[in-house]
Chain A
């Protein structure tokens, strides 16, 4: 039953996204000249409509299935019931790490930003209290990436506006 409810909610959210997408497309993208000119609006609008129909169909199918057999697990497929604990906080932490990395890179340069991100990862995400790991991991990963990408591969790495090393 819970699985059905989650599927109905997923379908409903996707339908709303599709409606918002279509409304934005309609208001911001000009149509074609007509006839042979399909125009830039046609495909995004068609795709939004397709998503809306599919998502609504998915929601309705699951809602009907939930009514028919309230005790079954899912209308469309047996779902993996393995534990997903801790995933949401880890998703938030991973996202924050990536955003901090992206924010720091143009300001303090690739070298410092990498060391900072790995340090935060070890301390906040991995929650390690091992001093060698806290010191060596940021230094090792930063040096390795700088050497491989910056020096051997000659890939341009970000230079900091505030401060820059390497």
Chain B
């Protein structure tokens, strides 16, 4: 209980509240601008946290994550363009509502149900994290290796339409993290005789390059091609939904919250899948399924509840096992590690205050989301008017400041530039970059735990197949690979059938 009071004290300090508020604002703005996802916001927000204490720093990161997840609905409803992939399903009914002149009620409903979904998932997270951690604390190197391998198997879910491309991306991410001094033997690896390469590729620098540089190139290219920038006129406000609307949809909100939390807890899934599943679920069980797609308020409630419920869900494997479920939580994980908080089974023992701090900050972040979006909706409309090529120029400066300030090294700026251009190349070739991040985050643990396990077993492989926990994780990993492969085959078969019937 002492830890909880301490966390309360730290979380309600001016700096912590300010950090959560600032993070939420950054997240809302970045989430609202199409193309500029909250993952970019998180990568750029990381260096700002360096001068903060751990609780304020996590507050800023969580605020950005939660704000970004909610902010995507603004452009989805007002412009018909999802600000983030998670808000893609919201477009289906949100934009028709705007065209009917009901944008205010759509925005207000979105923010209210987002908060409800987020807080629901927080309660589930608070109950689950400790239980999962208590089980996971008994893990040795073999079990942790199996667990990380299970985390790596989620690449299949993050690969988009082609699993082989996802696997190639994952391998590239793992390879990058072997550059530098080997942590166990102290041997130089892939340094090409350069002193600068000895420090290896910093995860944060790589993340800034991977996510922000392709956006900058894309924004400049769109401007050079003469693509119109987004403009929006007219006065707007967020209108609170009536109690009647919320009461009539309370059961739908509860079901979509559960869907979002469950999907979020499965690494490799994320907000977009949860939102589409919830939308589909709402349409299937609706009394008027024909209204969906033509401006149904349920079509906004379902995806917005679910995509925000994902925030608590993704934090369950992140905090209890140290496995990030999506690129955004991978950056949150990196940020926590920078501040000495190591997510995983021992987190409750080593950083109980920070864990309670995270719970309180999630609540604070949702309160800020509610206040900022209800009061400041007009501000977001102005933000959407800022030309993206000028915004890209500002982001370029932020990328350099962020990369440099990680280790005060100019070499990191060049590393970020090279990784950014490579990421742009991968995207052009249709190779997803999220598995690269997963490989980078989990790679060092995968290698170190494997080598430690082999050293402990005196080179005997039975350490992996005599542990029931390790076997269970290997089984889960295999199951995910098989299920994703089957789903891919089914999708391709359906596409072929559709092609034939059209011909």
Against A, the Cβ 8 Å flags (1 = close, 0 = not) of B178-213 are 100010110111100000000000000000000001
Contact, CB under 8 Å: A86 / B168 = no
In the complex, whether A35 has a CB less than 8 A from a CB of chain B is yes
Decide yes or no whether B451 CB sits under 8 A from chain A.
yes
8 A Cβ contacts from B455-502 to A: 455, 457-459, 495
Q: Are A95 and B405 in contact (CB under 8 A)?
A: no
Beta-carbon nearest neighbor of B185 in chain A? A40
What is the number of residues of chain B that contact chain A, defined by CB distance less than 8 Å? 66
**B410 contacts the other chain (CB 8 A):** yes
Provide the residues of chain A in CB contact with B162, threshold 8 Å: 76-77
Q: Which residues of A contact B458 (CB under 8 A)?
A: 35-36
CB-CB nearest in chain A for B162 = A76
How many Å lie between the Cα of A90 and that of B189 in the bound state? Answer: 33
Q: A93: which B residues are within 8 A, CB to CB?
A: 220
A-side contacts of B401, CB under 8 Å: 110, 145, 149, 155, 157
**B213 engages A102 (CB within 8 Å):** no
Closest to B167 in A: A54
| Interchain nearest-CB distance for A50 vs B (Å) | 5
Contact B216 A105 (CB under 8 A): no
**Which one of B308-316, B343-351, B423-431 is at the interface?**
B423-431
In this complex, the member of B221, B389, B414 whose beta carbon has the largest number of chain A beta carbons within 10 angstroms is B221
Interface positions of B from 400 to 457, Cβ below 8 Å from A:
400-401, 404-405, 408, 410, 413-414, 416-417, 420-421, 424, 428-431, 447, 450-451, 454-455, 457
- Find out whether the CB atom of A126 lies under 8 angstroms from the CB atom of B390: yes
Question: Residue A25 contacts which of B190, B223, B410 (CB distance < 8 angstroms)?
Answer: B190
Q: Are A86 and B224 in contact (CB under 8 A)?
A: yes
Residues of B within 8 A of A61 (CB): 164
* Chain B minimum-CB-distance residue to A77: B161
Interface centre among A50, A91, A141 (most CB of B within 10 A): A91
Q: Which residue of B lies closest to A153 (CB)?
A: B51
Bound-state CA distance A35–B455 (Å) is 9
Q: Bound state CA distance, A160 and B175, in angstroms?
A: 35
Residue in contact with B221 in the complex, picked from A42, A50, A90, CB distance below 8 Å = A90
Q: Is A94 located at the chain interface by the 8 A CB criterion?
A: yes
Task: Provide the B200-244 mask, 1 if CB < 8 A to any CB of A, else 0.
Answer: 000000000000010011101101110000000000000000000
Is the contact region of chain A dominated by helix, strand, or loop, or is it mixed?
helix
CA distance A147 to B91 in the complex (A): 38
Q: How far is the CA of A42 from the CA of B431 in the complex (A)?
A: 26
20 contacts between A and B (CB under 8 A): A28-B188, A37-B459, A40-B185, A43-B450, A51-B168, A58-B165, A76-B162, A77-B430, A83-B225, A84-B221, A84-B428, A86-B224, A87-B217, A91-B221, A98-B420, A105-B410, A126-B223, A155-B51, A155-B401, A156-B405
Ranked 5 nearest A-B pairs via Cβ: A102-B413, A98-B417, A36-B459, A77-B161, A40-B182
| B residues adjacent to A (C-beta < 8 A) | 47-48, 50-51, 160-162, 164-165, 167-168, 171-172, 174-175, 178, 182, 184-185, 187-190, 213, 216-218, 220-221, 223-225, 389-390, 393-394, 396-401, 404-405, 408, 410, 413-414, 416-417, 420-421, 424, 428-431, 447, 450-451, 454-455, 457-459, 495
The interface of chain A, by Cβ under 8 A from chain B, is 6, 10, 14, 21, 24-25, 28-30, 35-40, 42-44, 47-48, 50-51, 54-55, 57-58, 61, 76-80, 83-87, 89-91, 93-95, 97-99, 101-103, 105-106, 110, 114, 117-118, 121-122, 125-126, 137, 141, 145, 149, 153-158
